[in-house]
Amino acid sequence: MTYYIEENIINSVKKLLSGQVNELLENTELYVPPLEFTNYRGASAIVPEIALSACEQSEKERIIQQDAYSLTITLSIPETPESERQCYAYAGAVTRAFHEDPSLGGVVDRTVITGKKYNSPKKPNFGQDWEVVFTLRLTVERFYVD
């Protein structure tokens, strides 16, 4: 079975989020629901949305034959009195996990978090979700299969 680099990237990100990030969250004094990849929606677990796309390469990346990708991770956290603090806990754990494993276990050459955005509900106490949106840039050495 052939795996494409895009599949490897997404699977590695899922593994990092459901593994290392959850371990970091378990060690906080605040209860933070774990991240998991199921069809579940509720307050006892958060299901991240991951979107991957190719992005423009720098001149240096073209010369050394690296592909560049943009990855967005969105965490929707149900509104509770602790939602805002949970957003910051997720942000800290995700940032630390990517800092400790910027190659995603050797799948990519480099991962950089280029943005973190916190979105509060439009109307407080109206049942809307909080969101944390991470934007990452990944570079991968180009491999060609003959």
The CATH number that applies at residue 22 is: 3.30.70
First to last CA, the chain: 16
Give domain status of residue 113, yes or no. yes
List, for residues 58-84, the tens digit of each pLDDT value: 777 677 778 889 999 999 999 888 999
Q: Assess if residue 33 is contained within a domain.
A: yes
Query: Residue 70: which domain range?
Result: 5-41+57-141
pLDDT at 99: 97
Whether residue 50 lies inside any domain: the answer is no
The tokens describing 47, both together, are 């299901």
Domain membership of residue 68 (yes or no) is yes
Within a domain: residue 103? Answer: yes
| Interacting residues of 10 by C-beta distance below 8 A, sequence separation 6+ | 50, 52
Task: Please check the confidence at residue 25 and state whether its pLDDT lies above 60.
Answer: yes
Q: Are 104 and 16 in contact (CB under 8 A)?
A: yes
Mean pLDDT for the chain overall = 88
Number of structural domains in the chain: 1
Instruction: Give the per-residue pLDDT at 41.
Output: 65
CA distance 32 to 20: 14
Q: Coil, strand, or helix at residue 60?
A: helix
Residue 128, amino acid: Q
Whether 47 is covered by a domain: the verdict is no
The per-residue pLDDT for 1 is 47
**49 within a domain of the structure (yes/no):** no
CA distance linking residue 107 with residue 139, whole number of Å: 10
User: Residue 139: beta bridge partners?
Assistant: 68, 110
pLDDT digits (tens, 9 = 90+) for 111-132: 999 999 999 988 776 668 899 9
Return the percentage of the chain with pLDDT > 90, whole number. 62
Give the span between the Cα atoms of 102 and 133, in whole angstroms: 18
Q: Which two tokens stand for residue 73?
A: 């991770």
> Which of the two residues, 39 and 107, has the higher pLDDT score?
107
Does residue 3 register a pLDDT over 70?
A: no
Residue 18 resides in a domain = yes
Q: Is residue 54 scored above 70 in pLDDT?
A: yes
